[in-house]
A and B are shown apart, each in its own frame.
Chain A
Amino acid sequence: MSGHVSPSPASASEGNRLMMTLGIVAKHAVIVLILALFLLPLAWLLLTAFKPYSELFTTPPTVLPVNGTLVNFSEGWAIGGGKGIGDSLIVSSISTALCLILGFPAAYALARRFPPHGQMSFTILSLRMLPPIVPVIGFYILFQELSLFDTYTGLVIVYTFMNLPLVIWLLAEFIRQIPKTYEEAARIDGAPWYRLFWDVLLPLSAPGILTAGILAMIFAWNEFLFALVLTGEKVITLPKALASFFLFQQPNWGQLGAIGIVAITPLLIVSYYMQRSLIRSFSVELGGR
């Protein structure tokens, strides 16, 4: 690829190739080093989860657990991690289902019946930008009035409100990528609009629905401020359980580490698979690359 003509082309290009290979190896080495440093705090969390109590409070700390143990996981489950996982699962899965049920028809209407990126889409999306601290006061008073404080229903409603704008918008973007020929063919066959919606577009949108659903699930699973303010003793999601154990009880870091690891592992697995499905589903948008 060198632009100038050198006197001995063969040896020069060989030298160039060597330099290029070395350059690539160096780049990979730099990236791997940065990545390793970057992930250190999470690696430390992982190691902590396997340390017995006696190894947690030593100076200098042991890096690898000497007597590795799984007891933190069972104890973490028993002290409230189990309840946290259960509550987080209930709240995030029901709110995600609601987001999709409300969001898919709305996304279809926005994608096919409004100009692209119309004012409506933007208004809906701007709700997403609201920091949770702004509406939380109003929600708190409302929930006191309606006896929704510290209920699964209440938290499900808030999480649906929080994620619905994003779900609508992602699905509308997805539906816009689907060629209209399918619907036109069905329309020529005399299918009414709800058949177009149900039999044609819904199956074609499955990858987009999966993506939007997983994303809504992750955001609900990770959410903390609403859970902190709008629930009390009855509903305790995982982030709230972790925070309250850490701040208000004698913390056993090993148990908390185990809870933390259990809280993030499913997300990492799911998001890895989501990435695969997304590259596939957006390949149309990316010009078939």
Chain B
Amino acid sequence: MTTISRPSAVVHVPPKSREGAEERRATWLLLGPALVFLGALSVWPFVYLLYASFTSYQLAIPIPIEWVGFKNFSRVITNARFLSSLGITLIFALVAVPLQILIGMGLALLLNGITRGRELYASLFLIPMMVAPIVVGFSWNLFLNPIYGPLNSFLKAIGFEPPAWAQSPDWALPTLVLVDTWQWTPFVMVVLLAGLKSIPSRVYEAARVDGSNRWQTFFHIVLPMLYPYLTVAFVLRFIDSFRVFDIIYILTRGGPGTSTQNLAYYTYDMGFGRFEFGIAGALSIIQLILLTVGTMLILSLAKRRDRAPAAGKALPPTVVSHATQQLQGANS
């Protein structure tokens, strides 16, 4: 766990001498431009977003804009399409993400078991993550094409009757989950690989001396030590699962019917397909609330379970930073 509580975490106290005032001015001079830029671009569009969601704002329709209060919100919440798109967003968050963590764990354990070539393998596994989601969607479209794609030809040749994947009502959503999992499992793998590498080999030796077998070692020693890394992987993937849009846009366009419309796609469709900016604005704000509450819930659950105070305290930024560095380093 040395990587979690790094020695670099020394508190830097701003100097309080005569130069204090100048130092403070320098700080704001350095920080100011970025803060102004970020602040302006968070607040300004957000004001418009609020404005749209509480009025009868409709693009391209020259009707007088009226204040409607929470009417857009109540219209959204009582709509069946909202509930179904919420369900699909949750399927990405609560089915695809655990799947990614399970497979990512398997791959990380597999790669952790070898030494030579590990970096090369890891960087090859990471390729899907670097590819633009639009290109990912297009590749899978070719690969899964029911008539001209290689997979279905192969399945037919060995005697299966393959589904039409993205074009079939039953298989469209599983196909999207598959593609999302394909693209993001490597991320989980790299985070967990970093976690496995942080466990000193003497821990395994001590476990073996104490007579615990592989499974016991994994479940009682390795898994608890990986816990902060699992949390990081889960939180980051949970947050990102609300972003799924590109692969839906290119693989199913939300269809067949509305069977693969998640909240992001539904919002896009209301805003830029039907120009109902009031509804789309309300949907955006609902997503923001869901995402914030969900993330805080997961983090507080994780903290409660994590009894080691040092690790718990350092959980969000330090482990995230470590994991991100590992991710960007794409090293093992």
Contact = CB atoms under 8 A, between A and B. Distances in A.
B280 interface: yes
Contacts of B46: 135, 138
Interface residues of A, number: 102
B37 A160 contact: yes
Contacts of A221: 132
A271 B190 CA distance: 15
Contacts of B150: 40, 44, 61, 63
A112 B12 contact: yes
B1 interface: no
Given A106-B31, A260-B135, A138 B45 contact: yes
A30 B242 CA distance: 33
A18 interface: no
A61 B37 contact: no
Nearest to A44: B143
Nearest to A167: B34
Q: How many B residues are at the interface, by size bracket? A: 35 or more
Interface in B104-122: 107, 110-111, 113-114, 117, 119, 121
Contact of B121 (A35, A253, A282): A35
Interface stretch (A7-15, A68-76, A124-132): A124-132
A122 interface: yes
A44 B139 contact: yes
B114 A24 contact: yes
Contact of B135 (A45, A137, A170, A272): A45
Interface string A197-228: 10000000000000100010010011011001
Nearest to B117: A28
Contacts of A44: 139, 142-143, 150
B170 interface: no
B217 interface: no
Contact of A132 (B26, B126, B149, B243): B243
Interface string B1-45: 011001011111010000000110011111101110110011011
A184 B46 CA distance: 43
Secondary structure dominating the interface of B: helix
B142 A45 contact: yes
A262 to B, nearest CB: 10
B321 A137 contact: no
B78 to A, nearest CB: 21
Interface stretch (B221-229, B284-292, B304-312): B284-292
Given A44-B142, A106-B34, A115-B12, A285 B325 contact: yes
A75 B285 CA distance: 43
B123 to A, nearest CB: 6
A165 B38 CA distance: 8
B249 interface: yes
B182 interface: yes
Nearest to B314: A117
B331 interface: yes
B244 to A, nearest CB: 9
B324 interface: yes
A127 B138 contact: no
A279 B284 CA distance: 39
B258 interface: no
A42 B139 contact: yes
Contacts of B324: 170
Interface in A21-66: 24, 27-28, 30-31, 34-35, 38-42, 44-45, 48, 56-61, 63
B143 A40 contact: yes
B52 A275 contact: no
Contacts of A157: 41
B183 to A, nearest CB: 10
B213 interface: no
A155 interface: no
A116 B12 CA distance: 7
A138 B282 CA distance: 12
A121 B316 CA distance: 12
Contacts of B33: 102, 105-106
A224 B318 contact: no
B48 A243 contact: no
A114 B12 contact: yes
A91 interface: no
19 contacts: A38-B182, A40-B150, A45-B143, A60-B157, A105-B31, A106-B35, A125-B317, A133-B263, A137-B280, A139-B45, A141-B49, A141-B57, A194-B26, A224-B245, A229-B271, A238-B132, A263-B135, A271-B330, A278-B330
Interface of A: 3, 24, 27-28, 30-31, 34-35, 38-42, 44-45, 48, 56-61, 63, 102-103, 105-106, 108-110, 112-117, 121-122, 124-125, 127, 129-142, 157, 160-161, 164-165, 168-170, 173, 176-177, 193-194, 197, 211, 215, 218, 221-222, 224-225, 228-229, 238-239, 242-243, 246-247, 253, 256-257, 260, 263-264, 267-268, 271-272, 274-275, 278-279, 282, 285-287
